[in-house]
Amino acid sequence: MPCRRYGTLNAIFVIQFFNMEHALIVEKTRDFVRKTLENAEGGHDWWHIHRVWLNAHRIAENEKADMLIVELAALLHDIADSKFHNGDEEIGPETAGKFLNELDIDEDTITHVQQIIRNISFKSGFDQKTFHSKELEIVQDADRLDAIGAIGIARAFSYGGFKGREIFNPEVEPNLNMTKEEYKNSAAPSINHFYEKLLLLKDKMNTETGKKMAEQRHQFMEQYLQQFFDEAGTYIQK
């Protein structure tokens, strides 16, 4: 009897220790990310990360996945985005790896988080897929949800403004067959980005929860574009 009681106590202790470790690691990572992204562009700032982190948590609750990997990857996925670092696609995984190493996290977890950062973005979809995991699917869905709907609209124009892009130019048609290089170097008006990426995301969602969450946000974007072009049409010379 006493033995069994100690067994239970031990198990509780281990679970509590594990949770404490997990919570502490997440907290330290949050602090690091928030500090690093202090001066980031409004669409890729701490609050984007915060939303992606919460989306990821919500999706992961309905999936069989390693929650620590999901949370770390969500928090670190834009820690050094290549768009803001002269196209360098390794600086993100490298920065994340260095930080996680200092926290003494096991190698497998670090490598997994780095692989998610490498493979999450829309532009990495142009490359041959060499890595796949449930955790990647979840964090990718969480990031995509923040690229659509009302928030997605705000982020697209924020990024466009940051890059000095036009909002809309009726003489520049969207390019629906871009290569990765064309996508990366595009300086097209922000409204084109809806046709080149944002409206395509709904059908790229990986998880059932993600798909459901994307539906209404997608519809809202369609509605917004309808209104946008109704208004814009009145200025276009026939």
- ∠ CA 20-26-27, rounded to 5°: 85
List all residues 6 or more positions away from 126 whose beta carbon is below 8 Å from its beta carbon: 179, 180, 183
> By rule CB under 5 A, what count of residues binds Ni ion?
2
The stretch near ligand ADP (CB under 6 A) out of 17-25, 52-60, 116-124, 127-135 is: 116-124
156 CB-near residues (< 8 Å, 6+ apart)? 43, 147, 190, 193, 194, 198
**Judged by CB under 5 A, does residue 71 bind Ni ion?**
no
What's the residue count for the chain? Answer: 238
Q: Which stretch binds Ni ion (CB under 5 A): 12-20, 135-143, 154-162, 225-233?
A: 135-143
* Residues of span 122-141 touching ligand ADP by CB under 6 A: 122-123
Q: Can you tell me the distance from the alpha carbon of 1 to that of 20, in angstroms, rounded to the nearest whole number?
A: 29
82 or 133: CB nearest ligand ADP: 82
Which residue number is nearest to ligand ADP in terms of Cβ? Answer: 121
For the chain, how many helices (H) and strands (E)? 10, 0
Q: Within 28-47, which residues bind ligand ADP (CB under 6 A)?
A: 43
Q: Which of residues 145-184 bind ligand ADP (CB under 6 A)?
A: 147, 155-156, 159-160
Shortest spacing between CB 77 and Ni ion, in angstroms? 6
Assess 63 for contact with Ni ion (CB under 5 A). Answer: no
> Binder to ligand ADP among 22, 83, 204, 211 (CB under 6 A)?
83
Tokens of 53: 């982190």
Rounded Cα gap, residues 37 and 31, in angstroms:
10
Enter the DSSP assignment of 196.
Answer: H
Q: Is 143 in the site for Ni ion (CB under 5 A)?
A: yes
Of 96 and 147, which has the nearer Cβ to ligand ADP? 147
Binding stretches for ligand ADP (CB under 6 A)? 43, 81, 83, 121-123, 147, 155-156, 159-160, 186, 190, 193, 197
